[in-house]
Amino acid sequence: MKKYPPAYYSDYLGLDKLLSSQELLSKKYDSEAHDEMLFIIVHQAYELWFKQIIHELDSVINMFRHEYIDEVNIGIAVSRLARITDIQKLLIEQLRILETMTSLDFLDFRNFITPASGFQSFQFRLIENKLGLDPTQRTMLNEKGYRSYFAEKHQKQLKESEEQSSLFHLVEKWLERTPFLESEGFNFWESYKKAVITMLDEDKQTIINNPIISEEKRQKELNAHENTRENFRAIFDQDKHDELVHKNLRRMSFRATHAALFIHLYRDQPILQQPFKFLTLLVDIDELMTAWRYRHALMVLRMIGTKIGTGGTSGHDYLKMTVEKSKVYQDLFNMATFFIPRSTLPPLPDDIKKKLGFFYTTQQ
Ligand code: HEM
C-alpha cells in the first residue's frame, strides 16, 4: 500500500489562517467593541457554508450540462440538492445567534464597516446566478446594477456567472428533452384537457349554485374563476403561454412546463419519483432562500430600524422588496394550479416507461 505523510489536524484544516482572520476594525481604531468578534465569525461561517453550497450546485450544474443524463445522476443530484436544503435551514437558524447582539452593541462598531455590506457577498450573488435568478429582476441601486458595487475581479466573475448556463436553464433544457410527451396512441393532453374542462365547469356550477353568498361575492368568485380558466388556457396554447412569458408572468418554456406538469401528475410511477424529488428540491431551495431573505429582513429591522444600510440601500424596505422579486422557480411553485385528481389521469403506457429507461419485466 502506498505510504502518505502523516496529516496534522491544524495544518490539514488551515486553522492558522482561518483563526487569524478575525480582525476587529473597532480594535484597530482603538475603540474595541466586544460583539464585533461575533459579527465577523457569523459572517465568515455563512461564507464557508456558501462555499459548500456552490460546490454542490456546481456538481449538479455539471451533470446537467450533458445532453443525456443518466438516472443514477438524478439520484446523486437529488442527494446534493437535499444537502443544500439542510445547510439553508442551518443558515436561517444561525441568524438567531447574531440576534444575541443588541442594536446598541452593533452601533458600537457599525460606523467602522461602512460601506461594506452583505450586499457585496460575492458568493451569495454567485449562488443566486447559478440557481438562475433572472438578472432583469434585480433591483437597481442608485441607478447602478449590483455588480458595480463589487471589486473589479469580482465584477468580472459575476458577469461570467450570469452568462453561463444556470441550473434553471439546464433544468429547462432537460425537461424539454423528456421523450414521453408525445407517443403514438397516448393522448395525455386530450384526456387532461377534458378532465380540466369538467373540473372547471363543476367549479363554476358550485359558485353559481352557492346559496349562502351575496350576488356581489358570487360575481367576484366568478371573476376569479375566469382567471383560473385563463391560466389553464396558457397550458394548452403556446401563444398564450408565450404572452405570459413576455409579461414576466411565466418563465419556463411551454414544453418544459408540460414536462414538469407531467412529472408531477405521474410522480407515483417509480420512473418519475427521482425527477419529481428533484423538481421538489428546486422549489425547496427557492423557498428556503425566500425564507432566509425574509428572516434576514426582520433581523435588520430590529437591528437598525428603518435606517439606511451600510451598503447604501433603504435597508429593511429594500430587503422586503427582494423577498418577492428574487424567486427563481416560480413556475414550479405554481404548478399545483394545474393539478387534477389522480382518478382522472390516463394510465401511462408501457412504451413510455421503456423510453425512460427504468423498465424491468420477467415477461418475454
Ligand atoms: C447586524 C446584522 C446585519 C445587518 C444589520 C444587515 C443589514 C443589511 C442591509 C441593510 C442590507 C441591504 C444592503 C445595504 O444597504 O447594506 C443587507 C443585505 C444583505 N445582507 Fe445583511 N445584515 C446583517 C447580517 C447579515 C449576515 C449575517 C449575512 C450573511 C451572509 C448577511 C447577508 C446579506 C446579504 C446576502 C445581503 C444582500 C441581500 C439582497 O440584496 O438581496 N447579512 N444586510
Across the range 84-101, mean pLDDT stands at 98
Give the whole-angstrom CA distance, residue 211 versus residue 226.
20
**Residue 194 falls inside a structural domain:** no
Residue 364 in this model has a pLDDT that exceeds 50: no
Residue with CA nearest ligand 1 atom 1: 303
In a domain, 364, yes or no: no
pLDDT above 80: residue 1:
yes
Q: Which helix (H) or strand (E) holds 356?
A: none
How far is ligand 1, taken at its centre, from the CA of residue 162, in Å?
Answer: 22
**Does the annotation list 186 as a binding residue?**
no
CA of 120 to the centre of ligand 1 (A): 9
**Given pLDDT bands bounded at 50, 70 and 90, which one contains residue 317?**
very high
Per-residue pLDDT, averaged over 281-307, amounts to 97
Residue 362 predicted with pLDDT over 70: no
- Interatomic CA distance for residues 230 and 177, integer angstroms: 27
What is the C-alpha separation between 340 and 271, in angstroms, rounded? 20
Predicted confidence band at 360 (pLDDT cuts at 50, 70, 90)?
low
List CB contacts of 23: < 8 A, sequence separation 6 or more.
40
What is the tally of structural domains in the chain? 1
Q: Is the distance from the beta carbon of residue 313 to the nearest atom of ligand 1 less than 6 Å?
A: yes
CATH number at residue 152: 1.20.58.480
Grid cell for residue 51: 462555499
**Per-residue confidence (pLDDT) for residue 356, from 0 to 100:** 59
Task: Of 28-37, 80-89, 188-197, 324-333, give the lowest mean pLDDT range.
Answer: 188-197
- pLDDT tens, residue by residue, 7-59: 999 999 999 999 999 999 999 999 999 999 999 999 999 999 999 999 999 99
Q: Is 221 among the domain residues?
A: no
Q: Is residue 215 part of a domain?
A: no
- How many Cα atoms occupy the beta-carbon half-sphere of 187 within 13 Å? 6
Over residues 67-90, mean pLDDT = 93
- In tens, the pLDDT along 110-155 reads 999 999 999 999 999 999 999 999 998 898 888 899 999 999 999 9
Look at residue 297 in the predicted model and tell me its pLDDT.
97
Residue 265 lies in a domain: yes
Is residue 214 over pLDDT 90?
yes
Domain membership of residue 61 (yes or no) is: yes
**How confident is residue 287, by pLDDT bands cut at 50, 70 and 90?**
very high
Query: DSSP state, 108?
Result: T
Whether the CB of 349 sits within 6 Å of ligand 1: no
> In sequence order, which residues have a C-beta less than 8 Å from that of residue 54 and are 6 or more positions away?
123, 126, 127, 130
3-state helix, strand, coil in the chain (%, to 5): 70, 0, 30
- Cis geometry, peptide bond prior to residue 115 (ω within 30 degrees of 0): yes
Residue of 117, 131, 154, 316 to test ligand 1 pocket, by largest number of atoms within 8 Å of CB? 117
**Domain ranges, residue 26:** 14-186+237-355
End-to-end alpha-carbon separation of the chain, Å? 48
Rounded distance between C-alpha atoms, residue 255 and residue 264, angstroms: 14
For residue 231, what pLDDT is reported?
86
Amino acid identity, position 45: A
Among residues 290, 362, 269, which one has the least CA distance to residue 333? 290
Q: Give the nearest ligand 1 atom to 310 CA.
A: 16
Q: Write the pLDDT tens digit of every residue in 156-204.
A: 999 999 999 999 999 999 999 987 666 667 777 887 888 899 889 999 9
Instruction: Please state the rounded mean pLDDT for residues 216-245.
Output: 92
The reply to whether ligand 1 has any atom less than 6 angstroms from the CB of 298 is: no
Nearest partner of 286 among 123, 128, 83, judged by Cα: 128
pLDDT at 358: 56
pLDDT band at 349 (very low <50, low <70, confident <90, very high): confident
Candidates 329, 340, 337; CA nearest to 232 is 337
260 in a domain, yes or no? Answer: yes
User: Which band of pLDDT confidence, cut at 50, 70 and 90, is reported for residue 361?
Assistant: low
Q: What is the pLDDT of residue 125?
A: 98
Do 272 and 355 contact (CB within 8 A), yes or no?
no
Classify residue 347: in a domain, yes or no: yes
Q: Whose CA is nearest to atom 21 of ligand 1?
A: 118
In whole angstroms, what is the distance from residue 81 CA to residue 53 CA? 9
More confident residue, 71 or 40: 40
Return the pLDDT at 320.
94
